[in-house]
Amino acid sequence: MFHMRELISANRKEIASLLSAEHGKVLSDALGEVARGLENVEFACGVANLMKGGYSEQASTGVDVYSIKQPLGVVAGITPFNFPAMVPMWMFANALACGNTFILKPSEKDPSASMFLAELLKQAGLPDGCFNVVNGDKEAVDRILDHPDIAAVSFVGSTPIAKYIYETGTRNGKRVQALGGAKNHMLVLPDADLDMAADAAVSAAYGSAGERCMAISVVLAIDSVADALVDKIRARIPAIKVGPASEPDNEMGPLITGEHRDKVAGYVGGAEAEGATLVVDGRTDAPGGGFFLKPSLIDNAKPGMRCYDEEIFGPVLTVTRISDYDEGLRLINDNQYGNGTAIFTRDGGVARQFEFDVQVGMVGVNVPVPVPVSYYSFGGWKASLFGDQHMYGPDGINFFTRTKVVTSRWPDPRTSSVDLGFPQNR
Ligand code: NAD
């Protein structure tokens, strides 16, 4: 793992360039992805400490009890298109460090980073066969889910597929963690710093062209500040430079496919017919020669509208106007997803109450994209995660190991002619 850490760090620009060329995300975004993935390799370097079990001396007379963590054997990871380097690192770093062998099935849309990481693992000295990349789509996934020798499956992707992976894998006796989609709400209270909130909403909604499971896709604005907040967001949008990652000034690249671009554009086109207000239409003046959309802003979105209810997974931010904190909290808790959320306020008491009340796995206080650092674990609630263990961090170590408890008694050398006692100083 230490060698792997050095190699990823030395090759970070090359990995980022691969991501930009294949996925389309701009270089600064790709470098950020590599850095966040690398954190997980660094965490796994501490595995000797993380695999320690418990020990109870003299649990009964002459009896000691202790627990040990052991690897599961062959485990697999199935990953989405949007973080082709980071999400594999979320999984394989801990899985390998715990002593498992790993099969990675990357997204068929951008598998090159996985192939490159496999090369680096080989250079780092990992024996052949310990890390394997299997390319393909549903057929390869189904073979993994059916294969009797695979003990566990870690999945990240959309909610319908996550549910399918969880149900099929567990039916086949495997341990499964399956992370799904999201619809992350940002609640802005009247006492918030509105410029900070507008900067955060724009960065979190349109970064990575909105193709992030932790993107903010809904701003919940209390009526008294909603007009001002919408104005501030609208004012920031024209400055965002959209275009190919090959031009270093660009801040937002294309969407992953033409089909996905058209689907996202469909939500923008349908918003007004649903009763929402299209404030900025990102379909106009989008650069040609790729699957580009510019940022869109939709105001007055409400539950029951497709643009509010469904995961869009593109550069579209909707605003829902609410009368108070309780209405905002209710909307977040009623949503089918529970991946991430954020509150913007200067009131510590309200923020603390929000942390307590909200039915979401990852919460930001004046932080719009609260992806946990690698020594915590990443995971949503509700339809954003199927399974018990969250991804990476301490939960990742638990997911890729199983615990054995040993109860042990040794013959007392004073009562036995055979001395099986521990070596001791006499
Ligand atoms: P996806 O569900 O289409 O694909 C994910 C993986 O599943 C890929 O490897 C793909 O080959 C495989 N797959 C696709 N269809 C399948 C099928 N019918 N049967 C078996 N396997 C199948 O997701 P995507 O489009 O690659 O990624 C975007 C989605 O991932 C979004 O919904 C996003 O929110 C989610 N996501 C979630 C997280 C998280 O941590 N919760 C992180 C990143 C992305």
3-class secondary-structure state, position 154: strand
Q: Does pLDDT of 426 surpass 50? A: no
Task: Please tell me the distance from the alpha carbon of residue 74 to that of residue 101, in angstroms, as a whole number.
Answer: 5
Tell me whether residue 98 is one of the annotated catalytic residues: no
Task: Please tell me the distance from the alpha carbon of residue 266 to that of residue 281, in angstroms, as a whole number.
Answer: 11
> Buried b / exposed e across 15-52, counting CB within 10 Å, b at 16+?
bbbbbbebbbbbbebbbbbbebbbbbbbbbeebeebbe
Centre of ligand 1 from the C-alpha of residue 111, in Å: 13
Provide mean pLDDT across the span 118-146: 98
Provide mean pLDDT across the span 160-186: 98
DSSP 11: T
Residue by residue, DSSP assigns 182-223 as: --EEEEE-TTS-HHHHHHHHHHHHHGGGG--TT-EEEEEEEH
pLDDT digits (tens, 9 = 90+) for 252-310: 999 999 999 999 999 999 999 999 999 999 999 999 999 999 999 999 999 999 999 99
pLDDT digits (tens, 9 = 90+) for 76-94: 999 999 999 999 999 999 9
Unique residue bearing structure tokens 């965002």: 240
Q: Is residue 104 within 6 Å of ligand 1 at its C-beta?
A: no
- Tell me what percent of the residues of the chain surpass a pLDDT of 70: 97
Q: Is residue 90 within 6 Å of ligand 1 at its C-beta?
A: no
Helix 138-146 vs helix 159-171: crossing angle, to nearest 10: 30
pLDDT digits (tens, 9 = 90+) for 380-422: 999 999 999 999 999 999 999 999 999 999 987 665 566 677 7
Which atom of ligand 1 is closest in space to residue 385's alpha carbon?
41
303 CB-side CA count, 13 A = 11
pLDDT at 411: 84
Q: Does pLDDT of 31 surpass 60? A: yes
Rounded to two decimals, the pTM is: 0.95
Higher-confidence residue of 421 and 223: namely 223
Task: Please tell me the distance from the alpha carbon of residue 335 to that of residue 184, in angstroms, as a whole number.
Answer: 9
Domain ranges of the chain: 2-180+384-406, 184-365
- R_g of the chain computed on alpha carbons: 24
Q: Is residue 315 within 6 Å of ligand 1 at its C-beta?
A: no
Q: Which of 177, 182, 174 is nearest to 217 (CA)?
A: 182
Structure tokens at 192: 């918030």
Provide mean pLDDT across the span 23-27: 97
| Helices and strands counted in the chain (H then E) | 15, 18
Which atom of ligand 1 is closest in space to residue 260's alpha carbon?
25
Task: Please tell me the distance from the alpha carbon of residue 77 to that of residue 280, in angstroms, as a whole number.
Answer: 39
Please tell me the residue having the least CA distance from ligand 1 atom 24.
80
Task: Please tell me the distance from the alpha carbon of residue 274 to that of residue 88, in angstroms, as a whole number.
Answer: 39
Q: Which CATH architecture has domain 184-365?
A: 3-Layer(aba) Sandwich (3.40)
Helix or strand (DSSP H, E) at 242: none
Q: Is residue 81 within 6 Å of ligand 1 at its C-beta?
A: yes
Higher-confidence residue of 220 and 425: namely 220
Contact, 188 vs 195, CB < 8 A?
Answer: no
pLDDT digits (tens, 9 = 90+) for 249-266: 999 999 999 999 999 999
| CA angle at 108 for the pair 37 and 208, rounded to the nearest 5° | 50
Burial class (CB in 10 A: 0-12, 13-18, 19+), 127: exposed
Task: Please tell me the distance from the alpha carbon of residue 255 to that of residue 360, in angstroms, as a whole number.
Answer: 27
Q: Is residue 396 within 6 Å of ligand 1 at its C-beta?
A: no
Q: Is residue 154 within 6 Å of ligand 1 at its C-beta?
A: no
Q: Which CATH superfamily is domain 2-180+384-406 in?
A: Aldehyde Dehydrogenase; Chain A, domain 1 (3.40.605.10)
Q: Spell out the residues 6+ positions from residue 304 whose beta carbon is closer than 8 angstroms to its own.
A: none
Contact, 362 vs 371, CB < 8 A?
Answer: yes
User: In CATH terms, are 2-180+384-406 and 184-365 the same topology?
Assistant: no
Provide mean pLDDT across the span 192-208: 98
| CA angle at 35 for the pair 34 and 37, rounded to the nearest 5° | 65
Centre of ligand 1 from the C-alpha of residue 157, in Å: 3
Contact, 159 vs 383, CB < 8 A?
Answer: yes
Banded model confidence at residue 154, pLDDT cuts 50, 70, 90: very high
Task: Please tell me the distance from the alpha carbon of residue 77 to that of residue 214, in angstroms, as a whole number.
Answer: 20
Please tell me the residue having the least CA distance from ligand 1 atom 16.
138
DSSP 425: -
Q: Is residue 181 within 6 Å of ligand 1 at its C-beta?
A: yes
Task: Please tell me the distance from the alpha carbon of residue 264 to that of residue 233, in angstroms, as a whole number.
Answer: 20
- Active-site hit among 45, 130, 213, 307: 213
Best probe residue, ligand 1, of 22, 36, 81 (max atoms within 8 Å of C-beta)? 81
Task: Please tell me the distance from the alpha carbon of residue 379 to that of residue 204, in angstroms, as a whole number.
Answer: 18
Centre of ligand 1 from the C-alpha of residue 198, in Å: 30
Contact, 325 vs 336, CB < 8 A?
Answer: no
pLDDT at 424: 59
Please tell me the residue having the least CA distance from ligand 1 atom 9.
107
pLDDT at 417: 61
